[in-house]
Structure formats: structure tokens, C-alpha cells
Chain A
């Protein structure tokens, strides 16, 4: 069986591919656990750049709805476990002493879009789909909100998370969710490689020192907000209103 998250290393550049293409790389607890383990394994590497991307046509469609809909999973605790695991993973990625790049190849939705905000640099293409539709499903993007605010600034993050919905990669670039934009999907791999190689041309220790200071400046390693966010997201997820909205969303997918 293929791994749920595959790590490869080429010189100073590591690439982590979320590999659940049949489910648009949505976050199952199992996939998050493999991602934890792969990121842990980087701590002692010589890599100075980590690229995170998705297998197939999506980056990451967010939480695995089958896992968070209690009627389907039969496990009331799964949602909180998943959100807690995601919160810890985001802190782990932010704390890496290397530059992280999200290569958003397709849909980056909810937690998937939040994962791109954790990375230092986001590369995407004009036709990707990004956004925070949590509120459309009765959910709250609390677990990723600190990263979204750090990425876009509080004003734009406030509007994006409260409006909900999905935007194109081009629109995402215009509001600061994307730093480097390819014209189309076909151009993304080359642009990602160009950015990753340019970043890797920096001195690894100079990069790590700079990143450490940036983390200090924006306070993003103060984990309390992220862990509290996971709790809030889980408590909203458990409400009957949210569960009913999720159930309604699941139906068309079955047909």
C-alpha cells in the first residue's frame, strides 16, 4: 500500500506529498499521523527547504468529512483527535529550521488552505481553488485562524474567514494568500522548482536564524492560540447544527 504522505529528498530540498488523491488529500487521522512522522524525520536532515504539495489534482480538501460526521464515523471523539493532530502538525511545521513552501496544485480548502498559510511561502496557479468555507458548513476555522491572520493580516483574514466560500488562485494572490502565481496548472511545477531552488541557494543557518526571528516577531510559536483553536473548532463541529449541515453536504457526493 502506498504511503499516505510521501517524503523525498533531493539535495537540500525535501518534498512532502499528501497522498490520498481519491479523497482530494483530505485530512484523515491516519494521513496526519504519517505527516507528523515524516516532518519529525526532517529535524536531523541537511535540508534547507521543504515543499508540501498534494498528489493528483488537489492540494488538500480540508478535514475528511467522513471522519468528522459522527453518523458515518460512529466515533464522537474522532473530530477532536483530528483537529488536535492538525494543530500540533502546524506548530511542528512552523517550528522547522528550514523554509517551507506550499505548492498549491489544486483545491486547498479549509484546513488545507490553513496548511498553506503555515508555510513561509505559497506558490499556486491562477485556476487553483482556495478558501475557508467552514462557516458555510456551520463550522469554525479556529484551529487555523492564527496562521491565516499571520499570513494575510488581520483585516483580510477576518473578511476571508467570515465570508466563507471559495476563490481562485488568482484572487487568492491578490489578497496575499499566494506569494508566487503560475498562469496555469501546467506551469506550477516549474515555478515551484524555481522558487525552491532559489530559497535553497541561501545559507541554511542564515535561513534558520532569519526564520527563528520571524517566528519570534509574529508570535506564531506561542502555541496556546492554536491549541485553543483546535478545541473551539471541535466544540463547534460537535453541535447538532454543524452535524446536520455536514450531513446535507455529504448527500450529493453519494449520488
Chain B
């Protein structure tokens, strides 16, 4: 469910479940985290993108609704948190390309990236409160990237925003007009990062991580907050109403 390729000092990690809009399953997130943790000396930049029509539609909610124990949802939240932390801790920069949509868990992944390129018309957001789930798991990473007021208004609101608005908020850092232009731009950016002397890039990422540490250290509390809602009457009822059979 994850494809990894390394060429010319750039490792491309692709979500590879395009037929399901790259909906996340626990195993997919485990694979993703391993791929990021496995970045070796031969890579000087990482690209994260999604195959198919969209970047990522979030958790596979059908799988979550089918598992009444809530364990699938718990594994997804925990796996998502680990993926975001792995990208933050990756010693080389992570360039993310978003086309189509980045919803819920898909949008949360942006919190781990260093540079995000997004299609102008892409849809982004955290509509998970509508199924009784808290997006707290990624809040600490989002809030260390965008002004707190904007982050607050975005995380509490189940509405979606487009790439232009995400750029205004600082959630994404470059906007391109067409979905087809996202990949070429992220490859170009990653190539230019890989061509720089590595030490300056690595030390700069480490420094920015240190500056934002106070906020991102609350990632664990955010995961706990999200986990606290799983299996609640509210979550089961709201998730079931949308995805139950």
C-alpha cells in the first residue's frame, strides 16, 4: 500500500491505494512509518505523495465502522501519530505534494511535512468531529506550523477549505494551478534540496524542530485526547450513522 523509490538522492514515498482514494489502513501507516524511518545516507530529500486521483481521503472509515471493538480506529490514530513524528524526526527535508484532496488523516499528514505543494482547487480539512472523532492527534503539529487562531478555527470546523485558503493560512507553502503540476513541482523542489550541501539543510531542520518543540511535544497528549473518544457512545453512533451497514 506504500511504494518507495530512491533515485538521484531523492526518496519518493507514495500512498499506493489509489482505487480507494488512498484511504488509510493500519498496515499502510505501519509501512509508511517504516519507509520514513528507513531513509538512509543515500537520500538527501524525501517526497511524499499519493497515487491516483487524490492525495488521501483519510482513514478507511468502512473498516473503522466494521470493527466494533474500536481497535482499527485506535490503530489508525496511533499509526498516524507515528507517521507524523517520523516525518518530523527524519533528518532530511520532507516535501509533500497534495492533489485532489487531503481530508482528516490525510490533512493531518501535512503536519509532518517541511514543505507542502498543493493544487489550488484541492480540498483540505478535518471533518472528523462529524463522526464523533477528535482531530486532536495532529493538532500539536498543525499548531506549530500555522498561527494558533487560524489553526483553532480550522480544527474545530468540519468544513473544508481549498488550496488557496490553505496557502493564506500557512498550511501549505506553494500552490500550483493543476493537479498534474503537483508532482513535477515537488520533484523539482526535492531535487534542488538534494543538490544543496546536506549539513546546512539538516541542521536547519533540526533547529526549527527545536524551536517548535514546546508545541510538538504535546503530540502525545493529542493522541491520548483522540483515543479518549474512540468507542464512546457518541463516536459509535455518529460513525455508524454514516458508515454502518
Listed in ascending order, the chain A residues whose CB lies under 8 Å from chain B are 99, 117, 120-122, 150-153, 156, 176, 179, 195, 198-199, 201-207, 209-214, 216-218
Contact = CB atoms under 8 A, between A and B. Distances in A.
B155 A216 contact: no
27 contacts: A121-B156, A151-B149, A152-B149, A153-B147, A153-B148, A176-B147, A176-B149, A176-B150, A199-B157, A201-B129, A203-B129, A203-B130, A203-B132, A203-B234, A203-B235, A205-B132, A205-B234, A206-B234, A206-B235, A209-B225, A210-B134, A210-B156, A211-B156, A213-B140, A213-B225, A214-B139, A217-B222
Nearest to A218: B148
B128 A179 contact: no
Contacts of B149: 117, 150-153, 176, 179
Nearest to A123: B153
Nearest 8 CB-CB pairings of A with B:
A202-B129, A151-B149, A203-B132, A153-B147, A213-B136, A179-B153, A209-B134, A206-B129
B238 A203 contact: yes
- Name, among B130, B153, B225, the residue most crowded by chain A CB atoms within 10 Å (CB to CB): B153
Contacts of A216: 218, 221
Interface of B: 128-136, 139-140, 143, 147-153, 155-159, 215, 218, 221-222, 225-226, 228-229, 232, 234-235, 238
Contacts of B131: 203
B234 A204 contact: yes
A217 B153 contact: no
A205 B235 CA distance: 9
The secondary-structure label for the interface of chain B is helix
Contact of A213 (B221, B235, B238): B221
A206 B155 contact: no
A91 B136 CA distance: 21
B165 to A, nearest CB: 10
B142 to A, nearest CB: 9
A204 to B, nearest CB: 7
Given A199-B156, A203-B131, A218-B143, A213 B148 contact: no
B136 A210 contact: yes
Given A150-B149, A199-B156, A205 B232 contact: yes
Contacts of A122: 153
B107 to A, nearest CB: 14
B229 A217 contact: no
Contacts of B232: 205
A151 B152 CA distance: 9
B225 A210 contact: yes
A167 to B, nearest CB: 16
B157 A150 contact: no
Given A117-B149, A152-B149, A217-B218, A206 B132 contact: yes
Nearest to A156: B147
Given A121-B153, A151-B148, A203-B238, 14 more contacts: A152-B149, A153-B149, A198-B157, A199-B156, A201-B129, A201-B130, A202-B129, A203-B229, A206-B234, A209-B226, A209-B229, A210-B156, A213-B136, A218-B152
